[in-house]
Amino acid sequence: MSKERIQIAPEFFDIMPVEYQDLVSKATYGNEERGWKDIGTSKELIEEHSLCAGCPESMAFRYILASLPNPEDTVMVGSTGCTSLVFPHVALHNIHSLFGNQNAVASGLKRALTVRFPGRIKDVVVLAGDGATVDIGLDMTLQAWFRQEKFTTICFDNELYANTGGQESGLMQKGFVAKMAPMGKSFDKVRLPEIARESGCHYVVNCTVSKPSLVEKVIRNAVLIAREIGPTYLQLYTPCILEIGKDSMEGLQEMRDSEKPTGRFAFKEYVSEPAKQLLAELAAKNKERKEAAKQLVS
């Protein structure tokens, strides 16, 4: 979809909802330079959200939506959980169907869009919590990777079931005392980033969302690699401040504390050989484009 598709007939402009007017006049659709720095200066794909005050997920949502390289042709797939409270506010086509089936839905969706729009780019991005990705939906998460489905999987890892009130999840740390783990969790945090690599993902990142520039970089890489090569996986720490006993202002610090070099969310990135080649090509093209623009100015 191009930006022209969302134009409003001039006669009706003044009676359209203000959000829609704003979307038409200020959306960053089609802007190849779009990124987290647009937040607050142009129309965002999300405004209000219905998460808890200070929830790091809300930051993650903003950064991700600002960083998608091709939002005008991106469809997102969610799952049940806190994220499903946010998606109805997001100005992108997005699908919620069941709990845990997000990678199966995305597989069918991506294939349908490929059949229907040959030669056109249609990106599919999955965004779901850790319960959906690693526990109830693990089968479908992995099988989509085995099949080399060309979409990005983003897991908001808050290390528990937040929306149902803080129960143990597979990505929870060992020993953490939670609902349904009254004696403390008895096994290690599932090592999904490593499993993702072994399952055929071409780009895998494990990090927090404390730095918007980093989120922007990994989102762009993940979407572009998925578009051209195969599955990509991002595991982003979005702590549930409510369930780990923190205040609204403490989410950012919690992420910073856990991303130290020895922390469980120290930045880790895996890039497959074909993906490395693609990123190098894209970087070269980008450089060329910027230099051409510079010469045009001078």
Partner 1 sequence: MDSSSLIGTKNRKGQVYTDTAIMMNESPRTPSFFTGSEVIKEAIRRASIDVMIAYPITPQSEAAALIGELFAEGYIGDYFRGESEFAVMSQCAGAAFGGARVFTTTAGPGTMRAMENFPMWAGARLPIQMIVTCRGINSPLSIQPDTLEIAYLLQTGMLVWHAETAQDFYDWILMGYMVSEEPDVHLPLALCCDGFFVTHTKDIVELTPADMCLPPYDPYRSPVPCMDMECPPVRMMRDPFVMKSNYISYATHASWQQEVWAAVERSRKHTIKWLNGLIETENVDAEILIVTSGTAVSQGREAIRLLDEEGIRVGLVKIKTLRPWPADEIREATKNAKYIIVPEFNVVGWMAREIRATIHDSERVIAGPRVCGGMTMPPEVIVEEIKKVLGIRATSFTGRG
AA identity, residue 199: S
Cα distance between residue 160 and residue 189, in whole Å: 11
The residue (of 93 and 191) whose beta carbon lies closer to partner 1 is 93
Look at phi and psi of residue 119 and say left if phi exceeds 0, alpha if psi is from -120 to 50, else beta.
left
The residue (of 82 and 275) whose beta carbon lies closer to partner 1 is 82
Cα distance between residue 161 and residue 142, in whole Å: 20
Q: How far is the CB of 193 from partner 1 (least distance, A)?
A: 21
AA identity, residue 107: S
Binding site for partner 1 (CB under 8 A): 1, 5-6, 19-20, 23, 48, 50, 72-75, 77, 84-95, 97-98, 101, 104-117, 122, 139-140, 143, 147
The residue (of 6 and 252) whose beta carbon lies closer to partner 1 is 6
Q: How far is the CB of 61 from partner 1 (least distance, A)?
A: 13
Q: How far is the CB of 1 from partner 1 (least distance, A)?
A: 5
The residue (of 83 and 238) whose beta carbon lies closer to partner 1 is 83
Q: How far is the CB of 50 from partner 1 (least distance, A)?
A: 6
Provide CB contacts within 8 A for 200, sequence distance 6+.
Answer: 145, 146, 148, 230, 231
Provide CB contacts within 8 A for 50, sequence distance 6+.
Answer: 85, 86, 89
Cα distance between residue 75 and residue 182, in whole Å: 39
The residue (of 97 and 286) whose beta carbon lies closer to partner 1 is 97
Q: How far is the CB of 270 from partner 1 (least distance, A)?
A: 24
